[in-house]
Chains A and B, each alone.
Chain A
Amino acid sequence: MLNQSDPILRLENIGKYYGRFQALADISLSVQIGEKIVICGPSGSGKSTLIRCVNRIEAHDSGRVIVAGHELTAKTRQISQIRQDVGMVFQSFNLFPHLTILQNCMLAPIKSRGLDRSDAEKIAQNLLSKVHIANQAHKYPAQLSGGQQQRAAIARALCMKPQLMLFDEPTSALDPEMVQEVLDTMAELASEGMTMLCVTHEMSFARQVADRVIFMADGRIVESSPTEEFFRNAQSERARSFLRRVDL
């Protein structure tokens, strides 16, 4: 079993190519239980690709991905095991449009964790209240606002009781007035001790929630520093110029 001091996620020299384009180069990273990490950087720097390699939505080409002590290989059983422990929230929500919010939340716990309906429903109702949309449980995704949909997507991921949550630009597709409600939900989750890996351009969120900020450019980790240090005194010129350009 995993020791408290073992990292929940370890990436060792990850490389990823799209044809001849190198999307990720020599990425190494270790995430402790309870740690909140924000990944930022200019677009095309490989941030999304990186977190999509953690649950093998993208397959890495070289290096090792180790989640909760299990190495991620092409083996289907291993992949599905790891995906049970890793929740993911997407930029475009990706709720299932033909299912109600409640059904969205119940499907995977029943079909992949093997829970029975009543247990799955209990968990789902609980988590929907936690993200403050319990009263929307029987509506379809299209009937909800963007912010509500993204909170439903967060609840859906949490229903699998993941040990690690991945956020892939969760507020980038939202209208400005809805960004905050989603960030608040994420901050709440962070304060409860969830381990989080979050790709975002919301630097105020990073400042408030993250333990560590990783700055990426051209498929490499340029900088990985404790949050305060990153904002006060970024080491690389690229990170400093990035920080100057994003709103603080």
Chain B
Amino acid sequence: MNNFDVSFILDSLPYLLKGLQFSLILTAVAFSCGIALGTILALLVHLRVPVLGLIAKTYVALIRSIPLIMVLFWFFFLVPLFLGWLSGASRPVPVGATWTAFITFALFEAAYYCEIIRVGLRAVPKGQFEAAAALSLNPCATYLHVILPQVFRATVPIILTQTIILFQDTSLVYVLSLTDLLGAASKLAQISGRLTEFYLTIALIYLVICFGASQLVWRLRKKTKLQ
């Protein structure tokens, strides 16, 4: 520690920021796709759609009982084999690390967002559904304009908390040798031998971002409580 050297960090800051950019993009994509897919899954379960509802329920239960890192590995190694078998090719069809990361995270997060939204749907008072029905709104308009906006409003703090966890979890793409924030740091650390400096720096970056986001969630929670 006595020759702690910050100059390395400053020089490689652009590379670290590029890594951070990848982490943030992955978070954003997994968030948007996860929310969209999660909402659809939650509606299938909530509306007790025959067959599809059960499939959605099973999917969510399954994904939630497997560690994310395993899903990443499986997707990376097994889906190419499956695609190869499906297309009749003699060799596996590689998906690539980046695609694996984006698809896996979206599919994985969908299960968690689904649970949040499903609970939110159950919390909407029966009277809201009845009022929408009495006004002759069809089910599509009812969910789109009456029910889901209330669900999202009520669950924003929980959804954001889950998204902070998602942002931290994106560091797992390190196992696919992708250059996210952690990946960038570990590459630089190995090249330069300055492990302490780099890991401390990115810890600080993670801390600042996540702490800032938590503060935002905390404020939102206070605001919704006041309403």
Contact = CB atoms under 8 A, between A and B. Distances in A.
Interface string B91-131: 00000000000000000000000000000000001011011
A115 B146 CA distance: 18
Q: Which residue, B131, B135, B227, has most C-beta atoms of chain A within 10 A?
A: B135
A94 to B, nearest CB: 4
B137 A92 contact: no
A57 B135 contact: no
A96 B132 CA distance: 9
Contacts of B136: 80, 83-84, 108, 112-113, 160
Q: Which residue, A56, A83, A97, has most C-beta atoms of chain B within 10 A?
A: A97
Contact of B134 (A87, A107, A111): A87
Interface in B135-189: 135-138, 141, 145-146, 149-150, 153
A156 B138 CA distance: 17
B149 A94 contact: no
A107 B136 CA distance: 11
B133 interface: yes
A96 B137 contact: no
A83 B141 CA distance: 15
A98 interface: yes
A90 interface: yes
Given A92-B127, A107-B145, A98 B150 contact: yes
A55 interface: yes
A107 B135 contact: yes
Contacts of A88: 131, 134
Interface string A84-122: 101110101011111000000001100111000000000
A90 B145 contact: no
A142 B226 CA distance: 11
Q: Which residue, B125, B146, B227, has most C-beta atoms of chain A within 10 A?
A: B146
B135 A112 contact: yes
B131 A94 contact: yes
Chain B: interface size category? 10 to 19
A164 to B, nearest CB: 12
Q: Which residue, B128, B133, B149, B150, has most C-beta atoms of chain A within 10 A?
A: B133
Contacts of B127: 90, 92, 94
Given A90-B127, A96-B128, A98-B153, A83 B145 contact: no
B145 A111 contact: yes
A183 B62 CA distance: 55
Given A111-B141, A111-B145, A160 B135 contact: yes
B112 to A, nearest CB: 24
Contacts of A108: 135-137
Contacts of B227: 142
Nearest to B227: A142
A88 B150 CA distance: 22
Contacts of A92: 125, 127
A112 B137 CA distance: 6
A90 B130 contact: yes
A111 B137 CA distance: 7
Contact of A107 (B128, B133, B137, B153): B137
B131 A96 contact: yes
A101 to B, nearest CB: 14
A80 B145 CA distance: 17
A80 B139 CA distance: 11
A92 B131 CA distance: 10
Interface in A159-183: 160
A82 B138 CA distance: 13
A49 to B, nearest CB: 13
Contacts of B150: 96-98
A90 B131 contact: yes
Contact of B130 (A86, A94, A97, A112): A94
Given A55-B133, A96-B131, A96-B150, 6 more contacts: A90-B131, A94-B130, A95-B131, A107-B137, A111-B141, A112-B136
Report the 7 A-B pairs with minimum CB-CB distance, sorted nearest first: A108-B135, A94-B131, A83-B136, A88-B134, A94-B127, A112-B136, A111-B141
26 contacts: A55-B133, A56-B133, A57-B133, A83-B133, A83-B134, A83-B135, A84-B136, A87-B134, A92-B127, A94-B127, A94-B130, A94-B131, A96-B146, A96-B150, A97-B150, A107-B135, A107-B137, A107-B145, A107-B146, A108-B135, A111-B137, A112-B135, A112-B136, A112-B138, A157-B135, A160-B135
